[in-house]
């Protein structure tokens, strides 16, 4: 039994994302709600997109670990970036943290006018899957 991430022929081939995830019966699926670049009090950590991105991914990692998973178990990311944020800085800061062996996860990204947390420039959510022994 394994979790399969696929990049089917006939769709764009990208080293950054896959198109399909197949999670077999019996695997545990973990959903992480939107995480912003905030500290434990809920305060935005910085006005810098790169720093907020790092903190948002770190918050997602903490959430995943609480459920017995890690960043390498993520099969799908949703990334919302405020339209006035520095997209290159935000992605550049987290790209190495999201790298994994094998096929990359699915990624949905959108530029948005604003986020629910005042001052937030980025919000990430994740779906992870793990096979438990």
* pLDDT single digits (tens) 21-48: 999 999 999 999 999 999 999 999 999 9
pLDDT band at 18 (very low <50, low <70, confident <90, very high): very high
Given a cut of 90, whether residue 125 has pLDDT beyond it is yes
Q: Are strands 4-6 and 20-22 parallel, antiparallel or unpaired?
A: antiparallel
Given a cut of 90, whether residue 17 has pLDDT beyond it is yes
Q: Please give the model's pTM, rounded to 2 decimal places.
A: 0.94
Angle, CA 32 vertex, CA 53 and CA 17 arms, to 5°: 65
42-58 pLDDT per residue, tens: 999 999 999 999 999 99
Q: Whole-angstrom Cα distance, residue 129 to residue 133?
A: 13
Given a cut of 90, whether residue 133 has pLDDT beyond it is no
Instruction: Return the pLDDT at 64.
Output: 98
Taking 3-state DSSP, the helix, strand and coil percentages for the chain, each rounded to the nearest 5, stand at 25, 30, 45
Instruction: Return the pLDDT at 26.
Output: 94
What does the chain come to in residues? 133
Instruction: Return the pLDDT at 72.
Output: 95
80-111 pLDDT per residue, tens: 999 999 999 998 899 888 888 899 999 999 99
């Amino acid at each position: 039994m394994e979790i399969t991430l696929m990049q089917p022929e006939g769709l764009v081939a990208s080293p950054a994302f896959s198109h399909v995830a197949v999670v077999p019966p019996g695997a545990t699926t973990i959903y992480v709600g939107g995480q912003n670049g905030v500290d434990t009090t809920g305060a935005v950590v910085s006005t810098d997109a790169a720093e907020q991105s790092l903190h948002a991914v770190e918050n997602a990692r903490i959430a995943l670990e609480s459920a017995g998973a890690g960043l390498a178990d993520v099969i799908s990311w949703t990334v919302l970036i405020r339209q006035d944020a520095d997209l290159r800085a935000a992605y550049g800061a987290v790209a190495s943290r999201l790298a994994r062996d094998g096929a990359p996860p699915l990624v949905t990204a959108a530029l948005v006018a604003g986020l629910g947390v005042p001052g937030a420039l980025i919000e990430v959510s994740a779906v992870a899957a793990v096979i438990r022994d």
